[in-house]
Amino acid sequence: MPNTIPFFKTTITSTEKVLVQDYLQSTDSASSKKYIELCVAWFKSNYKLEEFYLTKSCTHALELAALVADIQPGDEVIMPSYAFVSCANAFVLRGAVCVFIDIRPNGMMMDETKIEAAITPKTKAILTLNYAGVAQDYSVITAMAKKYNLLVIEDNAHGLLAKQNGRLLGSFGDISTFSFDHLKNITCGQGGGIAVNNLALLERFYLAYEFGTNRRSFFNHQANRYEWKAIGSNFPLSELNASMLYAQLLEGENINAAFVRGWDQYFSALKPLQQKGLIELPIVSNTDEHSGHCFYIKVKDKETRKALIDYLTEKDIIAQFHYVPLHSSEFGQKVGRFSEDDDFTTRESARLVRLPLFHSITAQEIDRVVQEINSFYQLV
């Protein structure tokens, strides 16, 4: 009986133990910010992000982004419906209306050409999602945002170290967010990050990030009182989590390379099935260096997807589907609306299957998944 190939295994390298142990043994563990500062320095030097901060999750970073963007009840935020629920909740928490945009027929990204028609006088921001670590077309999106004076909030949960035209994803938004949860390429168990790339937003950011207080100004001797100033929360990541995160950031390029290697192996091995018209492979534009965060195929329809996932499960291989479009839920309809027609979101998401891909997956395991997919197609 072959071993089960899980859908995902959390990335663990050899260095986390050493750095976490170092944190546990430090005499000033209650006040130390050594690893937080090392992580931030890593982002500043590798990412050239001037203002980067760690958060407890990407969900938190998105909620913080909504505060920093000063989203008010009735404001509208444009976003893909094919997205994680936190992308919408962050704004709904502030009373905003979600305006969902269809995805492109190729790939699973929001269709940039449909944004302009969705803009109204109430539109405040565009949320972009670099799905599977592949970039949106930021030349179109930033031009649109500039024309209508909108903020771009870039959800880069999937795209750490991925690039568009040589520029790192996570540097395109006025605010960009990151995830280091246990299902991401690089993880500290649960964690996130936020880059404030539009420096005009910094004042509001500082207040919201630290409990809604002027703590930062107070400690920098720019204020003589430490007081409550605005809505905020306890957003910063703990030093303990940061010690694990720093270990993985040091290995960041190698970790992503392992994901991309697995991704490339699936892509070449499954090409014959695409050539026979049985499946579709992901589309990555030539200008993108993606992160290999997830590998998906598209099958004929929802029924074929169920049959394939069931078949693979019988063979001890765990494959999964992904987001259920946000506008398809009762709650999504209450707090949002779909702009124009849903030509592709429902149809394409229903036929998407994600295959096992993780840092420690072996070439033999990927071969086994591909062989079983081939066997499935010999049977149908």
Ligand X SMILES: Cc1ncc(COP(=O)(O)O)c(C=O)c1O
**Residues of this chain that bind ligand X (CB under 6 A):** 57-59, 84, 86-87, 129, 155, 157-158, 179, 181, 192
Q: Which of 330, 339, 331 is nearest to 122 (CA)?
A: 339
| Comparison of 87 and 125: residue with beta carbon closer to ligand X | 87
Spatial neighbors of 329 by CB under 8 A, at least 6 apart, are none
Find the shortest distance in angstroms from Cβ 87 to ligand X: 6
Nearer to ligand X, 148 or 236 (CB): 236
State the minimum distance, in angstroms, from the CB of residue 323 to ligand X: 8
112 vs 155, beta carbon nearer ligand X: 155
Cβ atoms within 10 Å, residue 257: 14
Least CB distance to ligand X at residue 59 (A): 3
Q: How deeply is 32 buried, as exposed, middle or buried, from its count of CB atoms within 10 A (0-12, 13-18, 19+)?
A: middle
CB of 54 to ligand X, least distance (A): 11
CB of 209 to ligand X, least distance (A): 16
Q: Rank residues 32 and 236 by Cβ distance to ligand X and give the closer one.
A: 236
Cβ neighbours, 10 Å, residue 216? 16
For the CB of residue 107, give the shortest distance to ligand X in the complex, in Å.
Answer: 15
Residue type, 228: W
Nearest-angstrom CA–CA distance, 369 and 319: 9
Q: How many CB atoms are closer than 10 A to CB 145?
A: 22
Residue 261, SS3? helix
163 in Cβ contact with 288 (< 8 Å) = yes
Decide whether 86 or 243 has the Cβ nearer to ligand X: 86
Nearer to ligand X, 87 or 270 (CB): 87
Distance CA 87, CA 107 (A): 19
